[in-house]
Amino acid sequence: MNKTPIFARSIQYLDPMKIQKSTLKSIAELIGAQYVGDPKFPITGLNEIHKVEAGDITFVDHPKYYAKALNSAATVVLINKEVDCPEGKALLLHPDPFDAFVRLMRHFRPFEPQTTPISESATIGEGTLIMPGSFVGHHTIIGKNCLIHPNVTIYDHCVIGDNVIIHSGSVIGADGYYFQRRNEGYKKFESFGRVVIADDVEIGALCSIDRGVTSDTIIESGTKLDNHCQIGHDSYIGHNCLIGAHAAIAGVTRIEDDVILWGRVCVNKDLVIGTGAVVLATSAVDKSIEPGKAVFGVPAQEVKKQWREQAALRQLPEFLKEYYKTHQQ
């Protein structure tokens, strides 16, 4: 175990799925695919469509998303249909791009079994305390002056900043909830990304923060989570947010700075909660929220509108009583 001090802020945005530079031909041979393009075409990363950049492979297996993938920043598209190759890109042709992409991720980031509670490859900062019963995985980085309470599990490749507190029973870096339905059942899309937690964050007891599938799940500095919170894969939570107990945030959601989610709030996937927004307890958010808005209800809507509607509903029985009384005369 390396006890060298580390600062998460300096590395937290490095792409976790950058790979040793490979060629189009070598990747095609690895997964049994045909290719379109220069055999020496360089490949430097693997990413899902919402995270791709130049040098990356992404995959697409449904006609609905062909155009999006082919026109994305990805340099190489793994696809299950012969199509015209966009200028400056290359194609990998495979009958099952989903399976082929997972095979690539397993190849470049294979599972590493562990027999000790704290991996020898983990880096733990000066002044950090890890209580009995906790587990720290391979290649994980924990900053200075952190307190990891008993029975916390921190999976491989996680990055945790300085002055972070994680309470008992929390799990950092479990797989994202990502499955593709097949005739024979559900096919798991394994997670190969990370969880990145910045400085001065506090994670309550029995929370679960899933790692990104091919990128990062990020919690920025100063944010505080109560107990029993669930953060889905590839989500982003900004600076100085408050997340109440039993909140559930689905994957690929962006929560900007200074947001408050009170207890038992549910947030659907792929949404943006704007800076300074407040979501009152027991609400269910199914649409993005503008900055500074306060919302409430199921589905969540602007607070004053929701209260007016609830006030009207409370008056409905008396209104109907008077209505029927009048019309029966």
Q: Is 137 helix (H, G, I), strand (E, B) or coil?
A: coil
Question: Per-residue pLDDT averaged across 100-123, rounded?
Answer: 94
Q: Verify that 139 and 38 share a domain, yes or no.
A: no
Give the confidence band of 11 by pLDDT, cuts at 50, 70, 90. Answer: very low
Residue 116 lies in a domain: no
Q: Verify that 146 and 202 share a domain, yes or no.
A: yes
Give the confidence band of 9 by pLDDT, cuts at 50, 70, 90. Answer: very low
Percent helix, strand and coil across the chain, each to the nearest 5:
20, 30, 50
Q: Which domain holds residue 79?
A: 18-108
- Contact between 94 and 32 (Cβ < 8 Å): yes
Q: Verify that 78 and 217 share a domain, yes or no.
A: no
Residue 280 lies in a domain: yes
The CATH number for 178's domain is 2.160.10.10
Q: Verify that 177 and 220 share a domain, yes or no.
A: yes
Q: What are phi and psi of 76, to 5 degrees?
A: -125, 135
> In Å, what is the CA distance from 300 to each residue of 163, 164, 226, 291?
34, 32, 21, 15
Candidate list 107, 233, 239, 246, residue with the active-site label: 233
Give the confidence band of 15 by pLDDT, cuts at 50, 70, 90. Answer: low
Give tens-digit pLDDT for 258-305: 999 999 999 999 999 999 999 999 999 999 999 999 999 999 988 888
Whether 4 has a pLDDT exceeding 70, the answer reads: no
Q: Which of 56, 73, 108 is the last residue of a domain?
A: 108
- Contact between 42 and 60 (Cβ < 8 Å): no
- Contact between 197 and 164 (Cβ < 8 Å): yes
> In Å, what is the CA distance from 40 to each residue of 22, 36, 81?
8, 11, 22
Residue 5 lies in a domain: no
The CATH number for 26's domain is 3.40.1390.10
Q: Which of 108, 131, 154 is the last residue of a domain?
A: 108
End-to-end alpha carbon distance in the chain: 86
Amino acid at 224: K
Give the confidence band of 8 by pLDDT, cuts at 50, 70, 90. Answer: very low
Q: Verify that 242 and 96 share a domain, yes or no.
A: no
Give tens-digit pLDDT for 125-178: 999 999 999 999 999 999 999 999 999 999 999 999 999 999 999 999 999 999
**How many contiguous H segments (helices) and E segments (strands) does the chain have?**
4, 34
Q: Verify that 129 and 262 share a domain, yes or no.
A: yes
Look at residue 309 in the predicted model and tell me its pLDDT.
79
Q: Verify that 62 and 144 share a domain, yes or no.
A: no
Whether 6 has a pLDDT exceeding 60, the answer reads: no
Q: Which residue has the higher pLDDT, 256 or 312?
A: 256
Q: Verify that 71 and 216 share a domain, yes or no.
A: no
Taking all residues of the chain, what is their mean pLDDT, rounded to a whole number? Answer: 91
Whether 13 has a pLDDT exceeding 70, the answer reads: no
Q: Verify that 137 and 169 share a domain, yes or no.
A: yes
Look at residue 329 in the predicted model and tell me its pLDDT.
58
Residue 2 lies in a domain: no
Q: Verify that 269 and 131 share a domain, yes or no.
A: yes
Look at residue 321 in the predicted model and tell me its pLDDT.
78
Residue 309 lies in a domain: no
Q: Which residue has the higher pLDDT, 287 or 4?
A: 287
**Percent of the chain having pLDDT more than 90?**
77
Q: Verify that 173 and 278 share a domain, yes or no.
A: yes
Question: Per-residue pLDDT averaged across 223-252, rounded?
Answer: 97
Q: How many domains does the chain have?
A: 2
Q: Which residue has the higher pLDDT, 306 or 74?
A: 74
Copy the structure tokens of residue 255.
Answer: 């929560």
Residue 76 lies in a domain: yes
DSSP string of 226-273, one letter each residue: -SS-EE-TT-EE-TT-EE-TT-EE-TT-EE-TT-EE-TT-EE-TT-EE
Give tens-digit pLDDT for 176-228: 999 989 888 999 988 999 999 999 999 999 999 999 998 899 999 999 999 99
Respond yes or no: is residue 149 known to be catalytic. no
Q: Closest Cα partner for 280 from 266, 262, 292, 268?
A: 262
Residue 191 lies in a domain: yes
Q: Verify that 225 and 295 share a domain, yes or no.
A: yes
Residue 184 lies in a domain: yes
Q: Which of 79, 108, 137 is the last residue of a domain?
A: 108
